[in-house]
């Protein structure tokens, strides 16, 4: 019989049903899954054999899901700031990657990213980078959950030399990871402007055959639509529509330049949008119309983007930015309420990954992916409204405990599956190497 | 002879000269002031009698100055969210204040606010609320620094019943606080739309006679200019100009609706602008043109606003939001670089308070108001650029130590001058009282 554990929390915010806050409730975990949610006093009587643990000042909520990362780029955090996207990519990031990209870089960068993400309450992330096999192996070793993007881009990198090689390697990694409990895969064409029509068509075909999500940067900057019109005689959305990519498997990241008709098209086709507010602000890319997308019925989730452009992987802070910015952009202080915002990093994200049945809320039968946030801090007091405190005032330093599939990865603020001083030392080694 | 203390830091960011990062440097504090800044190895030889303390993974920077707070409103944090400014004020905040406002409310709320602010590296704040005498006494008791606004508003409150009473009480508090080392005062007319022309003229006269700053909400929402045109036949800036308030003593908060000619007028008249990006976003008030103001030569500082509208007093997080948002609003990723942003919460704020000679940078002869930020965390590694890490990635939980006038108020993350559990307990008592 698997060990049963009973988490007794001051508040439980299950996300489903929407807006509910359970006071003094318990969550029972058995075999990595949530098997019961009930009042705390009843729980200790009904489950005397379960190991109890008290979270007297905490909110227990579903583990957060970061829907857009380039985790190894944590090693390039603050490497080049305050620059336009094109300059930043072409003159700084891509040259640095050309010089330093290797399995070792990816392993060390992913470890640093994963350390940061767990401490921020993240239990799953949707990644896009080179050497995805290495990222996947770090994720498995640590016990986190991830959807690993299989990169496809028109130029050669240390990972693959041409389109056929990108595809061959993608299929190889996909096969190797099949059946993993914690890691799934997605096809990850970089962007419409760095992938040809032929490549997009092949991605669409593979996505349909293998039932894989497609993770792509889309409509991030104004230049993109102009360039697409010149080059292809149509906008990027039309190109994706033509090759059959506009469907419920598409995870379209950024989407900071949307017309009303685009929003209708996205809603009709079931495309998932990932909003990256801090990256969009920092690179002055544009503003995603989050409130309009949600009103149209589009599934919207949230991502931090890579640490080279954000410059952190703090999804709780990103959630706060998203909740604030949506109101400013919509010119409506009622837009994206705290409760709606919380869905962007939980249930909506799970649905975008096709994992809405197993992740994204505290419901019986779902995976025990949870995090606890300690409200016993001045910035979270008094607790007039629990979800307001979570979204508008709590910081990631208040995340005390994190579980993935019932296994604890953060315990009272300390990482259980990573040697943090060593992770930081490796990051510092890379910095020294880069300054030469 | 006063005790000399030597703070040996991995990095010192003095803010002046602009953009400088000193590696392995020491700051000598004597008699509450900064008396030397020199390389660490030289410092220990030259000052053998000073008590040394090592901050091996830290940045030492000037204490942060929060230029717009309503500190007692921390007790109303999350009390009413996701509402329009007018509804929020008229249907929620003002009725709650009418019911609960008292010296006890102000004392308990200020203690909660001050606890939060110190932990975020704040050494000085510019407050505006009722019972300013109570706020001042809490500030003095704790040893923080503040500019206490003396409130003036057209309707009666528990603090004063009419204009003459507001003025009489303002003068009384001003007199009582004269000569305080830590507390200064400002006249604080609430807003152009809640203060008559006669009242504004009297404020202008008192400000000139007593050489007091004037702290006012201005051009926060679009309605304000429309209402002013209807009511007075001119915009709020013109009204303030006419009574002689547009000068270098004016601290104009929000300024989210500025035309080009307004910016020229502000620059010419030396008005100080306080930007509150998170409050403006949350209430969908509008967007302050920070990059344009700075380019025109206007002195811009930063405030969190009260915890009822933000919902925190975390100036380091506000700094990050300001740095990101300025780029989005200007549609320019080079706008408000990390180094420029840091000035908003340090030297620019000190200048707005008329205290630029004594606060706002680490310079010999200035007050020893400092804070240390620990970079030994995954989200701050690797340290390619120190100021980038501070502005774009560090969180307030990394603030380890805070000094005001050489006195330590935060030591290794623990408050030295406040009983935190008691402060939180009092906040919880108020919450219980408010729900009845």
pLDDT in tens, A341-386: 999 999 999 999 999 999 999 999 999 999 999 999 999 999 999 9
Question: How long is chain A?
Answer: 436
Residue B2 has pLDDT above 70, yes or no: no
Chain A contact for B324 (CB, 8 A cutoff)? yes
Chain A contact for B362 (CB, 8 A cutoff)? no
Count of beta carbons in the 10 Å neighbourhood of residue B247: 16
The mean pLDDT of A57-85, rounded to a whole number, is 95
Chain B contact for A84 (CB, 8 A cutoff)? yes
* 3-state SS track over A95-130: HHHHHHCCHHHHHHHHHHHHHHHHHCCEEEEEEECC
CA A238/CA A260 separation, integer angstroms? 14
Helix (H/G/I), strand (E/B), else coil: A136:
helix
Contact A393 B311 (CB under 8 A): yes
SS3 content of chain A, % helix, strand, coil (to 5): 45, 25, 35
Angle formed by the axes of helices B163-177 and B197-210, to 10°?
20
**Contacts of residue A60, Cβ cutoff 8 Å, sequence gap at least 6:** A7, A9, A11, A12, A13, A27, A362, A370, A371, A372
Which residue of B283, B388, B427 is in closest CB contact with A311?
B388
pLDDT in tens, A225-264: 999 999 999 999 999 999 999 999 999 999 999 999 999 9
**Contacts of residue B122, Cβ cutoff 8 Å, sequence gap at least 6:** B63, B64, B65, B66, B144, B313, B315, B402
Most A CBs within 10 Å, among B382, B418, B420, to test the A interface? B382
Task: Give B383's contacts in chain A (Cβ within 8 Å).
Answer: 78, 428, 431
pLDDT (0 to 100) of residue A1 = 47
DSSP H/E element including B349: helix B347-352
Using DSSP bridges, classify how beta strands B22-30 and B33-39 pair: parallel, antiparallel or unpaired: antiparallel
Contact B281 A335 (CB under 8 A): no
CA A183/CA A144 separation, integer angstroms? 8
Q: What is the DSSP letter of B304?
A: -
- B56: closest CA of chain A, how far (Å): 14
CA B342/CA B348 separation, integer angstroms? 9
Chain A contact for B84 (CB, 8 A cutoff)? yes
Q: How many C-alpha atoms does A189 have within 13 Å on its Cβ side? A: 27
Task: Give A331's contacts in chain B (Cβ within 8 Å).
Answer: 284
**Contacts of residue B233, Cβ cutoff 8 Å, sequence gap at least 6:** none
Classify each residue of B172-191 as buried b or exposed e, where b means 16 or more C-beta atoms within 10 Å of its C-beta: ebbeebeeeebbbbbbbbbb
Contact B381 A280 (CB under 8 A): no
Task: Give B313's contacts in chain A (Cβ within 8 Å).
Answer: 379
Give yes or no for a contact between A196 and A154, defined as CB atoms under 8 angstroms apart. yes
CA A388/CA A383 separation, integer angstroms? 9
Tell me yes or no: is domain B64-352 CATH 3.20.20.140: yes
Which residue in chain B is spatially nearest to A88 when comparing CA positions? Answer: B333
pLDDT in tens, B382-423: 999 999 999 999 999 999 999 999 999 999 999 999 999 999
- CB burial of residue A231 (10 Å; 0-12, 13-18, 19+): exposed
Using DSSP bridges, classify how beta strands B272-275 and B250-254 pair: parallel, antiparallel or unpaired: parallel
The token pair at B17 is 């000269």
Give yes or no for a contact between B60 and B5, defined as CB atoms under 8 angstroms apart. no
Chain B contact for A423 (CB, 8 A cutoff)? yes
pLDDT (0 to 100) of residue B418 = 97
Chain B contact for A45 (CB, 8 A cutoff)? no
Task: Give B23's contacts in chain A (Cβ within 8 Å).
Answer: none
Chain CA centroid to CA A308, Å: 15
pLDDT (0 to 100) of residue A3 = 87
The mean pLDDT of A321-334, rounded to a whole number, is 97
pLDDT (0 to 100) of residue A2 = 60
CA B79/CA B96 separation, integer angstroms? 9
Considering only CA atoms, which of B116, B143, B147 is closest in space to residue B351? B147
Task: Give A81's contacts in chain B (Cβ within 8 Å).
Answer: 337-338, 385, 388, 392
Most B CBs within 10 Å, among A72, A89, A333, A436, to test the B interface? A333
Q: Which residue has the higher pLDDT, A340 or A86?
A: A340
Contact B77 A424 (CB under 8 A): no
Chain B contact for A324 (CB, 8 A cutoff)? yes
**Contacts of residue A258, Cβ cutoff 8 Å, sequence gap at least 6:** A219, A266, A288, A289, A292, A293
CA B344/CA A147 separation, integer angstroms? 40
A235 φ/ψ angles, rounded to the nearest 5 degrees: -75, 165
Q: Please give the ipTM for the structure prediction.
A: 0.96
Question: Of A27-36, B79-88, B299-308, where does mean pLDDT reach its minimum?
Answer: B79-88
- B116: closest CA of chain A, how far (Å): 5
Which residue in chain A is spatially nearest to B376 when comparing CA positions? Answer: A424
Classify each residue of A145-169 as buried b or exposed e, where b means 16 or more C-beta atoms within 10 Å of its C-beta: bbbbbbbbbeeebbbbeebeebbeb
CB < 8 Å from A in window 270-309 of B: 278, 280-284, 287, 307
Chain B contact for A83 (CB, 8 A cutoff)? yes
Q: Scanning the structure block, which residue is given the tokens 């890691």?
A: A183
Classify each residue of B253-266 as buried b or exposed e, where b means 16 or more C-beta atoms within 10 Å of its C-beta: bbbbbbeeebbebb
Q: How does residue B10 score in pLDDT terms, banded at 50, 70 and 90?
A: very high
pLDDT in tens, B12-68: 999 999 999 999 999 999 999 999 999 999 999 999 999 999 999 999 999 999 999
CA A395/CA A284 separation, integer angstroms? 25
Contact A376 B424 (CB under 8 A): yes
Chain A contact for B381 (CB, 8 A cutoff)? yes
Show me where the domains of chain A are located: 4-62+366-405, 64-352
Give yes or no for a contact between A104 and A138, defined as CB atoms under 8 angstroms apart. no
Contact A83 B327 (CB under 8 A): no
CA A12/CA A15 separation, integer angstroms? 9
Chain A contact for B404 (CB, 8 A cutoff)? no
Question: How long is chain B?
Answer: 436
pLDDT in tens, A264-304: 999 999 999 999 999 999 999 999 999 999 999 999 999 99
Q: How does residue B89 score in pLDDT terms, banded at 50, 70 and 90?
A: confident
Give yes or no for a contact between A186 and A152, defined as CB atoms under 8 angstroms apart. no
Chain A contact for B89 (CB, 8 A cutoff)? no
Mean pLDDT rounded to a whole number for chain A? 96
The token pair at A208 is 């349909």
Give yes or no for a contact between A116 and A74, defined as CB atoms under 8 angstroms apart. yes
Task: Give B337's contacts in chain A (Cβ within 8 Å).
Answer: 81-82
The mean pLDDT of B359-373, rounded to a whole number, is 98
Q: Which CATH number fits domain B4-62+369-405: 2.40.400.10, 3.70.10.10, 2.40.10.10, 2.30.40.10?
A: 2.30.40.10
Chain A contact for B112 (CB, 8 A cutoff)? yes
Considering only CA atoms, which of B302, B298, B216 is closest in space to residue B258? B298
pLDDT (0 to 100) of residue A84 = 84
Chain B contact for A131 (CB, 8 A cutoff)? no
pLDDT (0 to 100) of residue B1 = 47
Helix (H/G/I), strand (E/B), else coil: A374:
strand
The fold adopted by the segment(s) A4-62+366-405 is: Urease, subunit C; domain 1 (2.30.40)
**Contacts of residue B298, Cβ cutoff 8 Å, sequence gap at least 6:** B263, B266, B267, B271, B272, B273
Contact B381 A77 (CB under 8 A): yes
Most A CBs within 10 Å, among B378, B419, B428, B432, to test the A interface? B378
pLDDT in tens, A179-188: 999 999 999 9
Give yes or no for a contact between B303 and B276, defined as CB atoms under 8 angstroms apart. yes
**Contacts of residue A358, Cβ cutoff 8 Å, sequence gap at least 6:** A350, A366, A367
């Amino acid at each position: 019989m698997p060990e049963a554990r009973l988490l007794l929390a001051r508040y439980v915010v299950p996300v489903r049903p929407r807006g509910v806050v359970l006071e003094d409730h318990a969550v029972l975990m058995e075999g990595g899954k949530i098997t019961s949610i009930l009042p705390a006093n009843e729980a200790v009587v009904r489950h005397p054999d379960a190991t109890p643990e008290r979270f007297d000042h905490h909110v227990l909520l579903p583990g957060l899901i970061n829907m857009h990362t380039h985790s190894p780029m944590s090693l390039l955090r603050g490497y080049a700031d305050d620059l336009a996207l094109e300059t930043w990519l072409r003159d700084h990031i891509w040259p640095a990657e050309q010089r330093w990209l290797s399995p070792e870089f990816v392993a060390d960068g992913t470890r640093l990213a994963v350390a940061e993400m767990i401490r921020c309450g993240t239990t799953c992330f949707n990644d896009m980078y080179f050497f995805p096999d290495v990222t996947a192996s770090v994720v498995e070793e640590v016990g986190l959950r991830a959807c690993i993007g299989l990169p496809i881009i028109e130029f050669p990198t240390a990972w693959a030399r041409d389109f056929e090689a990108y595809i061959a390697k993608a299929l190889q990694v996909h096969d190797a990871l099949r059946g993993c409990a914690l890691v799934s895969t997605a096809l990850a064409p970089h962007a419409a402007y760095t992938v040809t029509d032929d490549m997009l068509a092949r991605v669409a075909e593979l996505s349909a055959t293998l039932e894989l999500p497609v993770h792509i940067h889309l409509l991030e900057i104004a230049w993109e639509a102009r360039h697409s019109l010149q080059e292809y005689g149509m906008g990027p959305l039309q190109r994706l529509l033509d090759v059959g990519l506009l469907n419920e498997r598409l995870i379209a990241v950024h989407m900071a330049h949307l017309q009303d008709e685009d929003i209708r098209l996205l809603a009709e086709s079931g495309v998932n949008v990932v909003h990256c507010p801090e990256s969009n602000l920092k690179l002055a890319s544009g503003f995603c119309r989050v409130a309009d997308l949600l009103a149209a019925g589009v599934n919207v989730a949230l991502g931090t983007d890579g640490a080279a452009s954000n410059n952190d992987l703090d999804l709780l802070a990103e959630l706060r930015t998203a909740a604030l910015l949506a109101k400013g952009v919509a010119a409506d202080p009622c837009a994206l309420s705290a409760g709606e915002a919380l869905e962007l990093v939980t249930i909506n994200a799970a649905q975008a990954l096709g994992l809405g049945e197993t992740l994204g809320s505290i419901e019986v039968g779902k995976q025990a992916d949870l995090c606890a946030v300690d409200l016993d801090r001045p910035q979270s007091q008094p607790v007039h409204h629990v979800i307001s405190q979570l979204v508008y005032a709590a910081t990631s330093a208040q995340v005390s405990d994190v579980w993935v599939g019932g296994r604890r990865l953060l315990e009272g603020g300390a990482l259980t599956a990573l040697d943090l001083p060593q992770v930081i030392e490796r990051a510092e080694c890379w910095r020294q190497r880069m300054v030469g």
